[in-house]
Chains A and B, each alone.
Chain A
Amino acid sequence: MILISKKLWYGISALLISAITLYLYYINKIGYFINSNYYWYLLVSVITIFIFTVIYFWYLIKNGHKPKPARYSQYIFGSLLFCIFVSLFIVPIKPLGAESANYAKRGNSKKAAQKVQYIAKSPESISSLSLIDWYSLATLSPNPNQYNGQKAIIKGFVSEVRDGGFDLSQYQVSCCVVDASLYTIPVKTTQKIPAKDTWLNVEGQFEIIGQKPNIKYQLNFIKSEVIATPDDPYKSK
């Protein structure tokens, strides 16, 4: 008995591939998987697939076809795709968070070094720096002590909680989550600390501790505000 024909299976699979990606765009969560620079490439790709799938189905219906049964492996793959599609409605989709910190590499980006040079030239832009920028200033700037006592408002998620403070972190990705780098800044506070993975805007004073090469840095807490998980959590600013 032919449950589904081979040709129909190809069309349904392509449709499921488009549906999974388009749904993630629709719920604004595609940014949890890839760098925001890739949004358009991926969107154009998936729309192309969708258009060709519609054309494929149009001709399939118009011309009819001689049904050939799909192979077992095709059923398995089709079922997997279907499960992924269903899982989008069941599994809570979250960006990389505190649990993934042990698996991620630590930030050490050359782009960050270039940013430091830029910031050094225009210190007035300092109030708008991201967590990754502050990390770069502390670790890569030739004279990080000049930023001591600067007021900073930094967005990130709580990645580690300990006595007297917590770690505020952000991931940065070049292409997709597989190449994520983790950037962290310790926050010193005596206030109640939110749970891990909570996204915050933390206002504090930047402090450099020690001298190069064993330089350390922290943010002395002034106040914080809980915010919703951003649509593009890996974007620097």
Chain B
Amino acid sequence: MFFNFERFYITSLGIVFGAFPFLLLGVVVATAIQLYGKKEWFALLTRSHPILSHLYIALFGLFIPVCECGNIPIIKKLMIRGFSLSHAVTYLLAAPIVNPVTIFTTYQVFSDYPGLVAFRIVGGLILSIIIGMSFIAIGNPRQFLVPSLKREIELDEESNNSHSGHGHNHKNKIEEFSSHFIVELVETFKYLFVGSIIAAFVQTAVPREFFVQIGSNPLLSLLVMILFAFVIAVCSNVDAFIALSFSNVFSNASLLGFLVFGPMMDIKTVSMLRSIFTNKFIAMLTAMIFTGTIVLVYCYYLVNLIGIV
């Protein structure tokens, strides 16, 4: 049977339910940033030396245990609160990898391969910083933002300039929080929902064996695992378990490709990022992550070859 509707139905809702608690945590943090976050606080982080500021922001994920879905609303609010494009991208890519749950599960699953764990966590962190910093020199970063976010940033700047707050000081705190929370939740959920449907569709239409068959070639296996990470759209907190199940078929280098690329970009994330960035920017970012992952995996391969790890 080509398409199993029951599997599609249960997988699409399963992805949504699996991501839900993390998304909620992300929305709560985002709402708190929007309502209580002061630009000056974030300026402390972003105004230091460029490399240091990007490192601090990349390590921010250590304190917020949300995976890629939960980060999207946070990034949106951080950008409104003065994060530059380079800082936002660094946080977006690093946070799902350095989050404590991801580190724990990766170590638990691959404790026999400390090199693989180190390359995933430290390598992923460095890659995030490099990709993020490559946007420092961009002349007009707002060209990559969707019009609605551009408007929000402009409105925030105007309200700051006129010292009139957000224009809703007459509201009480609970009303304000619930209003922001619900709007943010539904807006983010919309993209998660669409992404989950696409991911479930691809997984239902393409059997897993297909990936295994075309991945028998060493070079092809890396590309297959990256492609697999993109379509499976599994949470970074548990993707190490998925990688483990392929350990008898694919090389560790290919698994590293899966473990680094997946948390940074997948079908679901692409859908959710469309609430922040233009399609052109998402395509460019995906290409950069893809190239960076290939380079990182190659470094791992070389290090293995000379027997360091």
Residue positions of A touching B, CB distance < 8 A: 10-11, 13-14, 17, 21, 30, 32-34, 38, 41-42, 44-46, 48-49, 52-53, 55-56, 59, 63, 73, 77, 80-81, 84, 87, 91-97, 99-100, 102-110, 174-179, 181
Contact = CB atoms under 8 A, between A and B. Distances in A.
B262 to A, nearest CB: 12
Interface of B: 1, 4, 6-7, 9-11, 13-15, 17-18, 20-21, 24, 108-109, 174-175, 177-179, 181-183, 185-186, 189-190, 193, 199-200, 203-204, 207-209, 232-235, 237-239, 241-242, 244-248
B20 A42 contact: yes
A102 B15 contact: no
B20 A45 contact: yes
Interface of chain B, main secondary structure? helix
Nearest to A14: B182
B21 A38 contact: yes
A34 B18 contact: yes
Given A13-B186, A14-B182, A55-B174, A49 B24 contact: yes
A110 B183 CA distance: 41
Q: Chain A: interface secondary structure?
A: helix
Contacts of B239: 179
B24 A33 contact: no
B90 to A, nearest CB: 26
A214 B24 CA distance: 47
Contacts of A77: 190, 193
B244 A99 contact: no
B183 to A, nearest CB: 5
A108 B14 contact: no
A114 B132 CA distance: 40
B238 A14 contact: no
Given A59-B175, A175-B237, 8 more contacts: A10-B182, A14-B185, A56-B179, A87-B9, A99-B1, A103-B207, A177-B14, A181-B241
B10 A93 contact: yes
Given A11-B182, A52-B181, A105 B245 contact: yes
A10 B20 contact: no
26 contacts: A13-B189, A14-B182, A17-B186, A21-B20, A33-B10, A33-B13, A33-B17, A41-B21, A42-B21, A49-B24, A52-B177, A52-B182, A55-B175, A56-B181, A59-B178, A77-B190, A77-B193, A87-B9, A96-B10, A100-B4, A100-B6, A102-B209, A103-B207, A175-B237, A178-B14, A179-B239
A54 B71 CA distance: 26
A29 B105 CA distance: 27
Contacts of B185: 14, 17, 49
A99 B4 contact: yes
A77 B239 CA distance: 29
A177 B11 contact: yes
A54 B247 CA distance: 48
